[in-house]
Chains A and B, each alone.
Chain A
Amino acid sequence: MNLSVKIGTLTLQNPVTVASGTFGYGVEYSQLVDLNQLGAVVVKGIRLEPVRGNPTPRTVEVTSGLINAIGLQGPGVDGFIHKYWPFLKGLKVPTIINVWGTTVEEYAEVARRFDALGGVGALELNVSCPNIKEGGAQFGTDVKLLSQVVTACRKATKLPLITKMSPNVVSIAPYAQAAEAAGSDALSIMNSFPAMAIDIETRRPMLANVTGGLTGPCIKPIAVKLVWEAAKAVNIPIIGMGGIQSAADAIEFILAGATAVAIGTANFYEPQTALQVIAGLRQYLQENRFEDIRELIGRAHTGN
Chain B
Amino acid sequence: MVEQTVQIVSNERDTDLYFRLVVRAPQIAPLVQPGQFAHVRILPLKHALLRRPFSIFQVSGDTLSILYKTIGQGTEVLSQMQPGEGLNMIGPLGHGFTVPQPGGEVPLLVAGGYGMAALYLLAQRSRQKGIAFVGGRRRVDILCEEEFSALGWEVRVTTEDGSHGAKGLVTQALLMELKRRTAGRKLFACGPTPMLKAVGQLATDFDLPAELSLDEHMGCGIGVCLTCVVPIKTRDGWEYQRTCTDGPVFDSTQVAWEVNK
Contact = CB atoms under 8 A, between A and B. Distances in A.
Given A23-B224, A28-B222, A56-B229, A65 B90 contact: no
A23 B219 CA distance: 12
Interface string A55-71: 11111010111101010
Interface stretch (A119-127, A219-227, A250-258, A263-271): A263-271
For the complex, would chain B's binding face be called helix, strand, loop or mixed by DSSP majority?
loop
B225 interface: yes
Interchain residue pairs A-B with the least CB separation, the first 6: A24-B224, A59-B227, A268-B220, A28-B223, A31-B1, A70-B226
Contacts of A272: 3
A265 B49 contact: yes
Contacts of B41: 269-270
A66 B219 CA distance: 10
23 contacts: A24-B222, A24-B223, A28-B245, A29-B222, A31-B2, A52-B239, A53-B226, A56-B216, A56-B229, A57-B217, A65-B49, A66-B219, A70-B226, A73-B240, A267-B224, A268-B49, A268-B224, A269-B49, A269-B50, A269-B51, A269-B220, A270-B41, A270-B88
Given A53-B240, A68-B225, A73-B240, A59 B49 contact: no
A29 B3 CA distance: 11
B219 A59 contact: yes
A64 B48 CA distance: 6
Contact of A267 (B1, B47, B220, B245): B220
B260 interface: yes
Interface residues of B, number: 27
Contacts of B239: 52
Given A61-B49, A66-B50, A267-B220, 20 more contacts: A22-B225, A24-B224, A28-B245, A29-B222, A32-B3, A32-B222, A52-B239, A56-B216, A56-B227, A56-B260, A57-B227, A59-B227, A63-B48, A217-B49, A267-B224, A268-B51, A269-B50, A269-B51, A271-B90, A271-B222
Contacts of B224: 22-24, 28-29, 44, 267-268
A271 B48 contact: no
Contacts of A29: 222, 224
A137 B170 CA distance: 48
A148 to B, nearest CB: 29
Contacts of B245: 28
Contacts of A22: 224-225
A216 interface: yes
Contacts of A56: 216, 227, 229-230, 260
Interface string A234-278: 000000000000000000000000000000010111111000000
Contacts of B48: 61, 63
Contacts of B229: 53, 56, 58, 73
Contacts of A271: 3, 90, 222
A22 B239 CA distance: 20
Among A22, A28, A269: residue with most chain B CB under 10 A: A269
Given A267-B220, A269-B50, A68 B227 contact: yes
Nearest to B220: A268
Contact of A61 (B1, B50, B216, B222): B50
B5 to A, nearest CB: 11
Interface string B181-224: 00000000000000000000000000000000000110110111
A241 to B, nearest CB: 16
Interface string B1-30: 111000000000000000000000000000
Nearest to B217: A57
Interface string A18-29: 000111100011
Nearest to B218: A59
Contacts of B226: 53, 58, 70, 73
B225 A32 contact: no
Contacts of B260: 55-56
Among B3, B217, B226, B239: residue with most chain A CB under 10 A: B226
Nearest to B225: A268
B222 to A, nearest CB: 5
Nearest to A53: B240
Contacts of B223: 24, 28
Contacts of A61: 48-50
